[in-house]
Amino acid sequence: KPGFVLAPDHKDCVDKNECFESKGGCSHQCVNTLGSFECRCNHGYSLDTSGKRCVYGQYCKTRHQCDHGCKTVGNKVECYCRDGYFLHGDGKRCLRSCLHGNGGCQHVCNQTVNGPVCSCAPRYILNADKQTCTASCTVNNGGCERKCEDTPTGPLCSCPPGYKLHQDGRSCLDVDECAHKLDGCSHRCENVRGGYECVCPSGYKVGMDDKTCIDIDECRLNTTCDHTCENSPGSYLCHCRQGFQKYGLTHCGDVDECAVRNGGCAHGCANSVGSYRCTCRPGYKLHSNKHECVESNQCTSLASTHTSVLSCTSTTSGGQQCQLQCPGRLWGPQGLLNISSLTTVCGRSTGYNWTRLDNGELPLCSETVRAPHVSRKARFVFVHETCDVSRGAVEEMRQNLT
């Protein structure tokens, strides 16, 4: 109907404010009413018969108490009403009819002698102003965004947990639990519509209570580190086995020991994954220290171990025979030998290798447990640019580097 426009939900009609467009054509003031509008004049002026233009003077209002205007009929003055209004029985007041802005009714206007009486379409409730209508919960959820409850005064809107009702009484606004410190999160809170989520820093995860952050044991995943994984609060650390070095955070790569000073080898150095080995040129064999090379037709020197006594003699075939005496028990690479003395022979018949010795090394001597194998690295600093070294001193150094 004129004076109304279709609501956004396309199910109801709402009032159109004609005053927004050039003051509705009023020369002075425009007052919006339900379904229509009224022009009003400034003090000292009154509306003419058009109902829009203001003229100077208020003769009809002040002298004859006419709502709209007056005219002379014969020898008397009579009040009249503008279009859409009819004169009340008192001959002075003007009552709005259903022909003007639907009588101010949002839905149905019923004309009576005392003016319009409004009513509503089915499933709508007439409001206390006796003009406007409110949809019940059966029509478009009563205009509520979430929950709707019908009451004697109309639909009552409410919101689910995590939301609060907007001041318009219909919309629901999200409650920011994080801003109001309602979350209880141990670390960081992130608000979401209708609730919140507790967020943990890297290396942590939310526990069963959905609030507390607990450490993630990354080491439980077999793919975390190439070799060994050490867990720590909120993180982890990867370690590499001997002979490897770490690159990146989790990977281990082989160390090429031969690339640095030839791996300490006197002749050749052969790298392998996680290790290396020294090699000797033809005519030489590897010393028991695994780095030096000695002539193949010579026996390597033996040095007695701690608390043991080593005695060596020459054999008739030009070789050597040594006897190791221990006050306690002898220990080899494989464990306890359960003997206190050991005799070993080296010569042409043995290929210049010592018999009964693992890797050419004498067993250790200990009364109770096996003594630990100790290896040391030595750094020599020469103060002179050149030096003379006797062969005897070199051999003595080799014997001490076992």
% of the chain at pLDDT higher than 70: 91
Region 119-145: what's the mean pLDDT? Answer: 87
Region 392-399: what's the mean pLDDT? Answer: 60
Q: Is it the case that residue 40 has pLDDT exceeding 80? A: yes
pLDDT digits (tens, 9 = 90+) for 11-28: 778 888 989 988 989 999
pLDDT digits (tens, 9 = 90+) for 111-130: 888 888 999 988 888 888 89
Residue 21, CA atoms < 13 Å, CB-side half-sphere: 7
Q: Is it the case that residue 338 has pLDDT exceeding 70? A: yes
* Assigned CATH for 140-174: 2.10.25.10
CA distance between the termini of the chain: 112
pLDDT digits (tens, 9 = 90+) for 211-270: 999 999 988 877 889 999 999 999 999 999 999 999 988 899 999 999 999 999 999 999
Q: How high is the pLDDT of residue 398?
A: 58
**What is each CA distance from 176 to 2, 184, 196, 339, in whole angstroms?**
44, 13, 8, 81
Q: Is it the case that residue 60 has pLDDT exceeding 80? A: yes
Cα distance between residue 88 and residue 114, in whole Å: 8
pLDDT grade for 89, boundaries at 50, 70 and 90? confident
pLDDT grade for 388, boundaries at 50, 70 and 90? low
Region 60-83: what's the mean pLDDT? Answer: 85
pTM, whole model, 2 decimals?
0.42
Going by C-alpha positions, the residue among 317, 320, 316 that lies closest to residue 301 is: 320
Are 245 and 255 contacting, i.e. CB atoms less than 8 angstroms apart? yes
Q: Is it the case that residue 379 has pLDDT exceeding 70? A: no
Reduced 3-state DSSP string for the chain: CCCEEECCCCCCEEECCHHHCHHHHCCCEEEEECCEEEEECCCCEEECCCCCCEEECCHHHHHHCCCCEEEEECCEEEEECCCCEEECCCCCCEEECCCCHHHHCCCEEEEECCEEEEECCCCEEECCCCCCEEECCCCHHHHCCCEEEEECCEEEEECCCCEEECCCCCCEEECCCCCCCCCCCCCEEEEECCEEEEECCCCEEECCCCCCEEECCHHHCCCCCCCEEEEECCEEEEECCCCEEEECCCEEEECCHHHCHHHHCCCEEEEECCEEEEECCCCEEECCCCCCEEECCCCCCCCCCCCCEEEEEECCCCCEEEEEECCCEEEECCEECCCCEEEEEECHHHCCCCCCCHHHCCCEEECCCCCCCCCCCCCCCCCCCCCCCCHHHHHHHHHHCC
Q: For domain 218-254, which CATH number applies: 1.10.3210, 1.10.8, 2.10.25, 2.40.50?
A: 2.10.25
**Which of 258-272, 334-348, 367-381, 388-402: highest mean pLDDT?**
258-272
% of the chain at pLDDT higher than 90: 32
Domain boundaries along the sequence of the chain: 4-121, 140-174, 218-254, 303-395
Are 174 and 159 contacting, i.e. CB atoms less than 8 angstroms apart? no
Region 354-369: what's the mean pLDDT? Answer: 78
Are 356 and 390 contacting, i.e. CB atoms less than 8 angstroms apart? no
Q: Is it the case that residue 199 has pLDDT exceeding 80? A: yes
pLDDT grade for 402, boundaries at 50, 70 and 90? very low
Q: Is it the case that residue 68 has pLDDT exceeding 90? A: no
Q: Is it the case that residue 53 has pLDDT exceeding 80? A: yes
* Architecture in CATH for domain 4-121: Ribbon (2.10)
Q: How high is the pLDDT of residue 35?
A: 80
Q: Would the CATH topology of 140-174 be identical to that of 218-254?
A: yes
Stronger pLDDT, 288 or 79, i.e. the higher one: 79
Distance of CA 7 to the CA centre of its chain: 42
Are 28 and 54 contacting, i.e. CB atoms less than 8 angstroms apart? yes
